[in-house]
Structure 1
Amino acid sequence: MQLDTYISDLLYRYECVTIPELGSFLTQTVSATINETTNAFFPPKKVLSFNEQIQKNDGLLAHYIADVDKIPFEVANKKIAKLVAALKDNLSDGKTVNFKNIGDLDFNTEGKITFEPSYQLNYLTDAFGLSQFESPAVTRELYKEEAERIEKVIPITVTSEKRKSRPYLKYAAIAVVALTLGGLVASNFYVNQIETHNQLAQQEAEKQLDTKIQQATFNLNPLPAITLNVSKQTGNFHIVAGAFRVEENCDTTVAQLKADGFSARKIGTNKYGLHQVVYASFETRAEARKALQNIKTSHNKDAWLLVKKLD
């Protein structure tokens, strides 16, 4: 029995998954971020950590294993204890303990457990279908100095006497007015150019974002179809096939899955406005877990289990 799969399943739904007598994997949700140097956008995610101090058995892992494998709770606890003993032996021998899609555990020089996350999976279900992407920087040119220079232009006052004795002042005044008007026209022209550039850059960034989301939401491999015997479409355990920004693509996917023998349907949109499609819904976690393993093996390795009560 491998603990990786069970722990990975639980990390999607819980903030703390404890391995008795070893420690606990913890998750913390962080918001979407932008790298100002590379212009890379990162979706929201759950950050993993490990706390060696939290070792008390809360029963969560054992209950889940017992439910999935159809074994008594006491037997599940004994299997966990046996695996933990083997893991501790490996750590004591200086070996690295790897939990697939979670991270690596090691002993440091002080005999304490250190953890290095793998970052291969995003355990935040609300961010499903979102991936990292880069967008060109939007360049803005400021004409503050030019605007200040125009605002500080001082009107020239010329009396009739001076106009007669100094005719060149008339031409100087005309030149100042001409230069001011020319500066205003040029300034407006450049400002309009900048606004047009910024608008095009923003549209391109939004286009790339929509494209990335649409491409990352659903990918069916051309593998042989399997048939699931689902008696009814109720329950809180749903096997998600994908999520789409365009509802027409959602309807096409449902029709395709139904043609392949699945009881596919739409279950509404998530918080990002993406339309979700499921292979089927189940009353118990054990039924959903069994069907999910079959689908990942034979149809779509990116399918995942959503636990949600539908309205």
Structure 2
Amino acid sequence: MLLDKYISELLYRYQCVTVPGFGAFVTEVQSANVSGSASTFMPPRKVILFNSNIKNNDGLLANHIALSENSSYENVVVKIASVVNSWISALENKNKVTLENIGEIYVNGEYNWVFQPYTEINYLVSSFGLNSFVSPEMKREKLLKEVQVFEAKEPVVLISNKKRNYGYLKYAAAVTLFLGAGLSAYKIHYDQQVATDTLMVKKEVQREVQNRIQQATFFIDNPITTVELAVKEEKRPYHLVAGAFRSEDNAEKAQKLLIEQGYQATILEKNKYGLIPVAYGSFKMAEEAELLKTKLFKEDSIESWILID
């Protein structure tokens, strides 16, 4: 079973994909940034993290594989367990576990699992067509002003009782004003040149972005069948899911228990896998769901995931 292939497919749609008995691959959205002296442009992307403490079976991966392979849920769970056992055995023998398009997991000197993600694939669908590129560093020539220094021998002046003539001072003032005006004109010219160079660089970067967008391609092997969801009038598309149940009675019991604990629990519509999700609550903003998810995990070690309509 190509388990890494199915995990990769789900990472495009979900923030957390749990492999039962092994761990969870969690995605985190990273904003676009420009770094380095050569101005490397990185588009918004999903960064993949691995948490070996999240091992409970939430049904997401198993149901997806069962639907893709037209197999039973129970049979798929057994196959997943077999692959997980082979991964754990390899790590115990200090061998790397390579997951295609996801990353590598290996054991360090302290016998801890270390996950090294691949960065070639961007799982953020909203960044379709945007690739990273490097804008060449702009080099400016330094303008040096040559200054000639003239040495003049000091004249010998005979002192007399006549009144001294200070007329030379007005010529010195005129020379000073002339030099000042020349330096000001030079500075204005230099500032204009810098502004022109900067504008050219910005235009070049913009043209590069447009070319990248037009030339970029985006491939997904065996894309997932499009899921049509009904549009709800209430604009709360972010649901923090506590669990998913096949039985409606069990879903109602879970909702009742969460309400007694003070949560605004809701029962969501049955998904195409035949499961009924029960959420701690539904939110207008993704940040609100993330805050509650983090609080539950830190304070009570409760695992949950975010479902987006």
| Superposition TM-score tier, normalisation by shorter sequence | 0.5 to 0.7
Q: What displacement does 1:234 show?
A: 9.6
Q: What displacement does 1:137 show?
A: 3.2
Q: What displacement does 1:178 show?
A: 2.0
In the aligned structure 1, how far is the partner of 2:190 from the partner of 2:79? Answer: 72
Partner of 1:13: 13
In the aligned structure 1, how far is the partner of 2:94 from the partner of 2:174? Answer: 87
Q: What displacement does 1:138 show?
A: 4.7
Distance 1:204 1:92, change over 3 A: same
Q: 2:3 matched to 1:3? A: yes
Distance 1:67 1:191, change over 3 A: same
Q: 2:72 matched to 1:62? A: no
SS at match of 1:18: strand
Q: What displacement does 1:6 show?
A: 0.8
Summarize deviations over 1:149-192 as a string: whole Å, max 9, x none: xxxxxxxxxxxxxxx94221222222222222222222222222
Partner of 1:82: 82
Partner of 2:30: 30
In the aligned structure 1, how far is the partner of 2:103 from the partner of 2:18? Answer: 15
Aligned length: 210
Distance 1:127 1:218, change over 3 A: closer
| Conserved 8 A contact 1:136-1:205 | no
In the aligned structure 2, how far is the partner of 1:109 from the partner of 1:169? Answer: 81
| Conserved 8 A contact 1:102-1:120 | no
Distance 1:206 1:12, change over 3 A: same
Q: What displacement does 1:57 show?
A: 0.8
In the aligned structure 2, how far is the partner of 1:23 from the partner of 1:234? Answer: 26
In the aligned structure 1, how far is the partner of 2:87 from the partner of 2:173? Answer: 90
In the aligned structure 2, how far is the partner of 1:184 from the partner of 1:122? Answer: 51
Partner of 1:227: none
In the aligned structure 2, how far is the partner of 1:186 from the partner of 1:110? Answer: 63
In the aligned structure 2, how far is the partner of 1:23 from the partner of 1:175? Answer: 80
Q: What displacement does 1:105 show?
A: 2.1
Partner of 1:176: 176
In the aligned structure 2, how far is the partner of 1:234 from the partner of 1:88? Answer: 34
Distance 1:72 1:174, change over 3 A: same
Q: 2:200 matched to 1:212? A: no
Summarize deviations over 1:207-238 as a string: whole Å, max 9, x none: 2222222221469xxxxxxxxxxxxx9946xx
In the aligned structure 1, how far is the partner of 2:119 from the partner of 2:36? Answer: 21
In the aligned structure 2, how far is the partner of 1:181 from the partner of 1:195? Answer: 21
Distance 1:234 1:122, change over 3 A: closer
Summarize deviations over 1:8-45 as a string: whole Å, max 9, x none: 01111112111111111111111122222332112221
Q: What displacement does 1:113 show?
A: 2.6
| Conserved 8 A contact 2:37-2:137 | no
In the aligned structure 2, how far is the partner of 1:181 from the partner of 1:109? Answer: 69
Looking at CA atoms only, which structure, 1 or 2, has the larger radius of gyration?
A: 2
Distance 1:184 1:167, change over 3 A: same
Q: What displacement does 1:110 show?
A: 4.6
The amino acid of 1:45's aligned partner reads R
Partner of 2:191: 191
Over the matched positions of the two proteins, sequence identity in percent amounts to 38
The amino acid of 1:188's aligned partner reads I
Q: Could you state the TM-score of these two structures normalised by the residue count of structure 2? A: 0.59
| Conserved 8 A contact 2:128-2:218 | no
CA RMSD, aligned part only? 3.3
Summarize deviations over 1:128-150 as a string: whole Å, max 9, x none: 2111211133568999xxxxxxx
SS at match of 1:122: coil
In the aligned structure 2, how far is the partner of 1:198 from the partner of 1:120? Answer: 31
Q: What displacement does 1:111 show?
A: 4.2
| Conserved 8 A contact 2:40-2:135 | yes
